[in-house]
Amino acid sequence: MADRDSAAEFYSLVLFAATGMSAIAISNSLATVFIALELTSLPSYALVAFLKTNRGSAEAGLKYFLIGAVSSAVFVFGISLVYAATGSLLFGDVAASLGDSEGLNGVAGIGILFILGGVAFKTASVPFHFWAPEAYEGSPAPVSAFLSSASKAAGFAVGFRVFLGAFPLETAVAVNVDWVLAFGVIAIVTMTVGNFAAAVQTNVKRMLAYSSIGHAGYVLIGLAALSAGGSQNFAVTGASLAHLMVYGFMNTGAFLFIAMTEYWGIGRRFEDFAGLSTRAPAACLAMTVFMFSLAGLPPFGGFFSKYFLFMGAVGAGFWWLAAVGAINSTLSLFYYSRVVKAMWLDEPNGNLDVIESRPTGLYAAVIVAGVATLLLLPAFGPVIETAEAVAASMF
C-alpha cells in the first residue's frame, strides 16, 4: 500500500471484515449470525475489487458480489422459514422448538436446507464454489490470502455454531433433514472436484484457489461425521478446528508468496517460477514447507492435522470419508510438487531479471508463516487439546 493513497480505506475494510468474523464466532442467534456475515461479506466484496483500474480485480469483485448477494438472500430466507416454524431466532430456543409443530415441520426442514446452502457458499464448497477461483485470482494476493483462510474459517464457524447449536442432529431428524448425510456428500464432492480442478491448472494462484476448495472438503468431514455421539464427536470436530488453524498459516503463507512474485512481476504460471530459488532461497524454502504441508506430508503441521482429522472420522465409523480424504490428499501432492520442482530443479528462463528488491513486509510475513507451520509440529498436542475443548463446549 506504500504507493497508494487509499491505505486507510484498505485497512478499515480489513478490520470491518475481521470484526464480522469475530462476531460470528460468539453469536447465539440466527439474526446475529446473519448481521455478522454481512459485516464480513460487504467489506470483502470491496477488498476483492480494490484495484479499481485493474479489469481482473473489478470483474472478480462484481462476480463475488452478485453470487454473494444471492447466497445471502438464500441464507436469510432460510432463517425466516426457521423462525416461522419455531417462533425464535436463539439457538437454544430453536433447538428446543424444532419438531414440536407438526404442521410446520416441512417449513423448518426447507429452512435448514436453505441455511445449509448459505454455509456451503461461505465455505466455498461444491456446488457453491464458483465464486472462489475468480475472486482469488482477480483480487490482490494478500486479499486472496485473507479470504481463503480467515473468511473460510468464519464460514465454518457459522456451520459449526448454527448446526450444532440450533439444529442438533437428534432434533433435525424430526423434521426429516439429515444434514450430516448432506455434509458428507458435499465433503466428498468438494474434496474431489477441488483437487482434480487444481491438478489441471497452469496458473499457480488459480491452483491454490482450487486447492482451498479441496481443503474445505477436508474440514467438512468434521460436520459429516457427527452421528457417532460422545467423545468421538468432540474428537472429529476438534480435529476439524485444529486443521483450520494449521491451514490458516500454510495457506496464508502460500498466497503471500504469490503476492511477493506479483510485486516482482515474474508471472503466475508454473514455468515462471523456474529457478526462483537462486534469487530468493529463503522465501522458496518457506514456500516448499507450505506446499508439502498442504499436501499432508510428514513432518509438517498439515500432516498431523489431517492425521487427527482422518483418524477421528475412522473412530466415528466414517472410514469411507477418511479414505476419500486420504486419496485426494495423495492426489494433491502432484500439483503441489510442481511448484517445488519449478523453484528448485528447473533452470531459470530469464524472467527473474526483474527482481531488484525484496519487499520487507511480505518477505518477513512469508518467513514467519513458514516458521509457524514448522513450529506447529512440536506444539500440535496443545493445539488439538484446545480444539477439542472448544468442540466440547459446542455440544
Distances (CA, A) of 223 to 208, 240, 339: 24, 8, 32
Q: What is the pLDDT of residue 99?
A: 67
Q: Identify whether the C-beta of residue 288 lies closer than 8 Å to the C-beta of residue 344.
A: yes
The confidence band for 345, taking pLDDT boundaries of 50, 70 and 90, is: very high
Q: Identify whether the C-beta of residue 123 lies closer than 8 Å to the C-beta of residue 217.
A: no
User: E-assigned strands of the chain?
Assistant: none
Alpha helix (H) residue ranges in 26-130: 30-48, 55-86, 91-97, 105-122
| Residues β-bridged to residue 269 | 203
The confidence band for 102, taking pLDDT boundaries of 50, 70 and 90, is: low
Closest C-alpha to 311, from 385, 221, 388, 381? 221
pLDDT at 298 over 80: yes
Residue 216, C-beta contacts closer than 8 angstroms, at least 6 positions apart: 123, 124, 125, 129, 152, 190, 194
Give the whole-angstrom CA distance, residue 68 versus residue 26: 22
**Region 163-191 average pLDDT:** 86
Local structure of 131: helix, strand or coil: helix
Q: Which three cell numbers stand for residue 130?
A: 464458483
Closest C-alpha to 95, from 85, 103, 107? 85
Which residue ranges make up each domain of the chain? 1-177, 185-395
Closest C-alpha to 121, from 154, 155, 144, 145? 155
Q: What is the pLDDT of residue 391?
A: 79
Give the whole-angstrom CA distance, residue 298 versus residue 314: 20
Residue 348, preceding peptide bond in cis (omega within 30° of 0): no
**Region 289-297 average pLDDT:** 92
pLDDT at 78 over 70: yes
Residue 229, C-beta contacts closer than 8 angstroms, at least 6 positions apart: none
Distances (CA, A) of 136 to 19, 47, 147, 317, 372: 21, 11, 8, 35, 23
With b meaning 16 or more CB within 10 Å and e meaning fewer, what string describes 170-203?
ebbeebebebbebbbebbbbbbbbbbebbbebeb
Q: What is the pTM of this model?
A: 0.90
Q: Identify whether the C-beta of residue 124 lies closer than 8 Å to the C-beta of residue 212.
A: yes
Residue 220, C-beta contacts closer than 8 angstroms, at least 6 positions apart: 123, 125, 183, 186, 187, 190, 240
Q: Residue 348 has what DSSP assignment?
A: P
- Determine what percent of the chain is predicted with pLDDT higher than 90: 43
Query: Which amino acid, 338?
Result: R
Local structure of 52: helix, strand or coil: coil
Closest C-alpha to 127, from 87, 185, 208, 81? 185
Q: What is the pLDDT of residue 103?
A: 60
Distances (CA, A) of 269 to 85, 217, 331, 351, 361: 52, 25, 20, 12, 24
pLDDT digits (tens, 9 = 90+) for 24-68: 988 899 999 999 999 999 999 999 999 888 888 899 999 999 989
- 113-127, 181-195, 354-368 — which is least confidently predicted? 354-368
Q: What is the pLDDT of residue 327?
A: 94
Q: What is the widest separation between alpha-carbon atoms in the chain?
A: 71
The confidence band for 332, taking pLDDT boundaries of 50, 70 and 90, is: very high
pLDDT: which is higher, 324 or 230: 324
pLDDT digits (tens, 9 = 90+) for 300-311: 888 888 988 898
